[in-house]
Amino acid sequence: MRDADYIRRLRKSYLDLMRESLIGALNEDPPLPASKVEGYRQDYREQGWDWPSKAPSMIGRLRMENVRAECERVIAENVPGDFVETGVWRGGACIMMRAVLAAYQRSDRNVLAADSFAGFPAQVAADRNFTVGAVADFVVSLDEVKANFARYGLLDEQVVFLKGLFKDTLPKAPTERIALLRLDGDLYDSTRDGLTHLYGKLSAGGTLIADDYFLFEGQRQAIDEYRDAHGINEPIIRIDHFGGYWIKR
């Protein structure tokens, strides 16, 4: 019993440290100038309201904790499938997914990281309030993302990268079942493609996370349309100021 408790505490400490490091809170990583925020602010980093200079994730503490908690939940409840993110920036959320698998010593699931690794695709009318597509800091190469995984000792065969536009890569994504699907492509088409090609693979009891459902109109419209068309009525649970998720029942 004492050994099990020690492992539980060790696992929690590791994942707590991963969360704080990945969002740039551990060493108070200052924001990028494009954030237009003066210096490191704990409240901004909690909600993901600024963009760290060097840390691998901009989603903030609450959304990163949501990723970690839902990965742990589906493992505990034996929900089958891989962990998938569409739109990875520097890779932070996917690194957390891989860290959870490492902490639980699970080699039966993969992490799929899908991104153009070349910036955002064209916007459509539904993306009217998306105004940051031209920010140069949002273009992160595949090599940079791989280097971030390697820095945490988590770059291995359980991490699969899908490079290209979602409409091209997601239909042939190498996964049969998904336990956690995180949509962070921001735009209408990117969100629609993720739902169209991957939601059918999401297992019962699996989690759908919409990173910017309460922020970007394009993502919200694509999700609302898909839910209406497919009779999805599970409540969308708010994570923080921007993000939401639901569990597929």
Separation of alpha carbons 35 and 182, rounded Å: 23
Structure tokens at 164: 């290209």
Query: Is 65 part of the annotated catalytic residue set?
Result: yes
DSSP notation for 81-150 = SEEEEE--TTSHHHHHHHHHHHHTT--S--EEEEE-SS------GGGTT---TT-GGG---HHHHHHHHH
**Catalytic annotation, pick one of 65, 72, 85, 176:** 65
Give the HSE-up count for residue 219: Cα atoms under 13 Å, Cβ half-sphere.
23
Residue 50: which of 39, 62, 65 has the closest Cα? Answer: 39
Which residue numbers are catalytic?
65
